[in-house]
Amino acid sequence: MVNTHVQIGELTLKNPVIAASGTFGFGREMQQWNNLSQIGGISSKGLTLNPRLGNDPTRVAETASGMLNSVGLQNPGLQAFIEHELPFMLGLGTTVIANIAGHSLEENVQMAMQLDQTAVHAIELNLSCPNVNKGCMAFGSSAHLIQEVVRAVRQSTTKPLWVKLTPNVTAISEMALAAESAGADAVCLINTLLGMAIDRRSRRPVLRNNTGGLSGPAVKPVALRMVWDVAKSVSIPVIGMGGIMTGEDALEFMIAGATAVQVGTANLVKPTACQDIINEMIMIATAEKITSFSQYTGTLKTW
């Protein structure tokens, strides 16, 4: 038998596969295809203090080996989440992570304080969404601002604090070190790469927001390199994501240094992706006579 449990700071996950924010909603639609108690965790749809309608359509476009999205953090707002969605999620039998994306330092602090009074298992501070004009990537592209907002949120909650980083920077390890120094319990990477699709006939961008976040298999090589860079630099756990479609992909991220992984775009292609990935990981580990998933983490042999 393979020990599938992994440790993220003080939080134990039953396995290392987490449904990434924005691709799983709050789990309601996905429960008809999955036994959600069998996945490692669910990161909620990105939450803001007040409800958001998101960006105007068109908001999603397929690309070669991936997709662009510019949803713009459509969500019901924090209070509606706490009252209506969180009780449902806590009943699923898996780890629940609240992804927050405040438009200012003060909003992030206020959201963390409110979530601290709930039974949510962890907070994922989103400093990386490229599809909104305030907050998120504005914080995430500056090590100084990352330190400032993470320190303020850290002082506002006793919950495990994960910080989701943008790849749209020159040195992501510098950003990860800033998050660690300010009190993050883990860093999550990568969020989407900023991209564009163009309709030749209309000579306009396909997305109404002009640009969007690129995800899917196309970003996996970039994500693997960044996870490897960051895992060498920080002492806190790294949660890797970016183009994971199979159990083999997930194990590659762990070999690069990730303690756990998040699965995003794959959920939109196949609703059972998280569960299938876990099963494939177990099959591979069993065949390789690995007794614990944690034995894969950080085992990359470079030339």
Q: How many helices (H) and strands (E) are present in the chain, helices listed first?
A: 10, 16
Would you call 136 a catalytic residue per the annotation? no
Burial 162-196 (b: 16+ CB within 10 A, else e): bbbbbbbbeebbebbbbbbebbbbbbbbbbbbbbe
Q: What distance in Å separates the CA atoms of residue 217 and residue 190, rounded to the nearest whole number?
A: 13
Tell me the torsion sign for CA atoms 45, 48, 54, 60: negative
> Which strand ranges, in their side-by-side order, compose the sheet holding 193-195?
60-63, 66-69, 212-215, 193-195
CA within 13 Å, CB half, 280: 16
Residue 263: CB atoms within 10 A of its CB come to: 26
Contact 8, 237 (CB under 8 A): yes
- φ and ψ at 273, to 5 degrees? -55, -45
- Type and span of the H or E element at 167: none
Q: Which of 128, 45, 122 is nearest to 80 (CA)?
A: 45
List the catalytic residues. Answer: 129
